[in-house]
C-alpha cells in the first residue's frame, strides 16, 4: 500500500494510474485504491488532454463493471468516472478539429472505445451526455471525415439517429463542391467493418452509388485505395449481396424468395405445436 501510494504521487500518467487501480482492487488494498483515485482526480482536475482522458476512461469503466469492487470502492470509482467523462464530453468537439489522417484514425479508435465503455456502464446519466457530445462532433465541419463518419455510425447504432438523419448527412458530405477525400473518409468511418447497413438500407446504398457515379475518373482513382480498404472489411457474403443489388435492385428480394422455396415446410410444421404450447396460443383449427 505504501509503495502504491508513493508511485501514485510520482505519476501523472492516467493510463498508468488506471492500470494500477485495477491491480490494487484485485489485491484488495482499499487504502491504495483511495490513494490512486485521489491522485487520478488530481491529474484530471489539472487539465489533462482530452485524448489522455479518453485513453484512461475504458479502464475505469471496466473496473467498475467487472472489477473486484466493494461498495465503498465502487462509490469512489464512480466519482472518478463522473470527473473524467464530463471533461471528455465538453472538450471533445474542440479535440477533433483540424486532425490529420493519422491523428484522425487514432481519435476514431478512441471514440469507439469510449462509446463501448459508456454502453458497458448501462447508466443514463453517462449515456445521455456522451451521445449529445457525439452529435456535436458529427456536425463539426472542420473535423476529419473519418471522425465524423465514425461518430455518425455510433449514433446510428445507438438508435440516436434514424436512417433519414444518416442519409441526409451522407448526402451533404458527398454533395458537389465538397472535398471528395473527406467524403471518402466519411464513408470509411461509417461503413468500415460492416456492410450490413448498406445491404439492408437501399437509401444509403443509393447515395453512395450516386456519388461514385458522379465523380470524375481522376477523383475516383485518387480515392479508390481508401474505398477499397473500406469495402475490404466487409465479409464475402456482404460484398456479393451488394454487387447483386447494384446489378439488379430486386436481387435481394429474389434471393429471399428463393430461400423460401428451399424451406422444408413439413419439418417446419412439426415445430408449430410446441410454439403454440409455449406461447399459450389456441390449437390450429380452434375457434379461439
pLDDT at position 115: 95
pLDDT at position 258: 43
pLDDT at position 254: 43
User: In which residue are the cell numbers 438523419 written?
Assistant: 165
For residue 97, the SS3 value is strand
- Residues contacting 89, CB < 8 A, separation 6+: 129, 130, 132, 133
Q: Is 35 exposed, middle or buried (0-12, 13-18, 19+ CB in 10 A)?
A: buried
Nearest to 56 by CA among 39, 68, 31, 73: 39
Q: Which residues of the chain have pLDDT under 70?
A: 47, 67-73, 176, 249-262, 281-288
pLDDT at position 24: 82
Which tens digit of pLDDT belongs to each residue from 159-216? 999 888 888 888 888 776 778 888 888 888 888 877 777 888 887 888 888 888 887 8
pLDDT at position 103: 93
Tell me the torsion sign for CA atoms 168, 173, 177, 180.
Answer: negative
Amino acid at each position: 500500500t505504501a509503495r502504491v501510494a508513493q508511485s501514485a504521487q510520482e505519476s501523472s500518467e492516467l493510463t498508468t494510474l488506471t492500470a494500477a487501480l485495477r491491480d490494487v482492487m484485485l489485491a484488495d488494498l482499499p487504502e491504495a485504491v483511495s490513494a490512486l483515485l485521489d491522485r487520478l482526480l488530481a491529474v484530471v482536475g489539472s487539465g489533462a488532454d482530452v485524448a489522455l482522458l479518453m485513453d484512461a476512461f475504458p479502464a475505469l469503466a471496466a473496473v467498475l463493471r467487472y472489477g473486484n469492487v466493494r461498495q465503498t470502492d465502487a462509490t469512489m470509482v464512480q466519482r472518478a468516472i463522473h470527473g473524467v467523462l464530463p471533461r471528455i464530453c465538453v472538450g471533445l468537439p474542440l479535440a477533433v478539429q483540424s486532425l490529420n489522417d493519422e491523428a484522425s484514425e487514432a481519435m476514431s479508435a478512441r471514440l469507439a472505445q469510449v462509446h463501448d465503455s459508456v454502453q458497458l456502464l448501462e447508466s443514463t446519466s453517462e449515456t445521455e451526455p456522451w451521445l449529445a457530445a457525439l452529435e456535436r462532433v458529427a456536425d463539426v465541419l472542420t473535423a476529419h471525415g473519418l471522425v465524423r463518419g465514425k461518430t455518425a455510425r455510433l449514433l446510428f447504432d445507438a438508435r440516436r439517429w434514424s436512417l433519414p438523419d444518416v442519409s441526409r448527412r451522407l448526402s451533404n458530405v458527398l454533395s458537389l463542391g465538397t472535398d471528395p477525400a473527406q467524403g471518402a473518409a466519411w464513408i470509411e468511418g461509417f461503413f468500415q467493418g460492416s456492410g450490413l447497413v448498406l445491404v439492408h438500407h437501399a437509401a444509403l446504398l443509393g447515395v453512395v452509388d450516386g456519388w461514385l457515379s458522379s465523380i470524375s475518373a481522376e477523383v475516383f482513382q485518387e480515392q479508390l485505395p481508401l474505398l477499397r480498404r473500406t469495402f475490404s472489411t466487409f465479409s464475402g457474403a456482404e460484398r456479393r449481396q451488394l454487387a447483386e443489388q447494384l446489378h439488379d435492385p430486386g436481387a435481394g428480394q429474389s434471393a429471399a424468395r428463393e430461400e423460401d422455396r428451399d424451406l422444408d415446410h413439413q419439418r417446419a410444421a412439426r415445430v408449430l405445436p410446441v410454439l403454440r404450447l409455449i406461447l399459450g396460443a389456441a390449437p390450429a383449427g380452434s375457434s379461439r
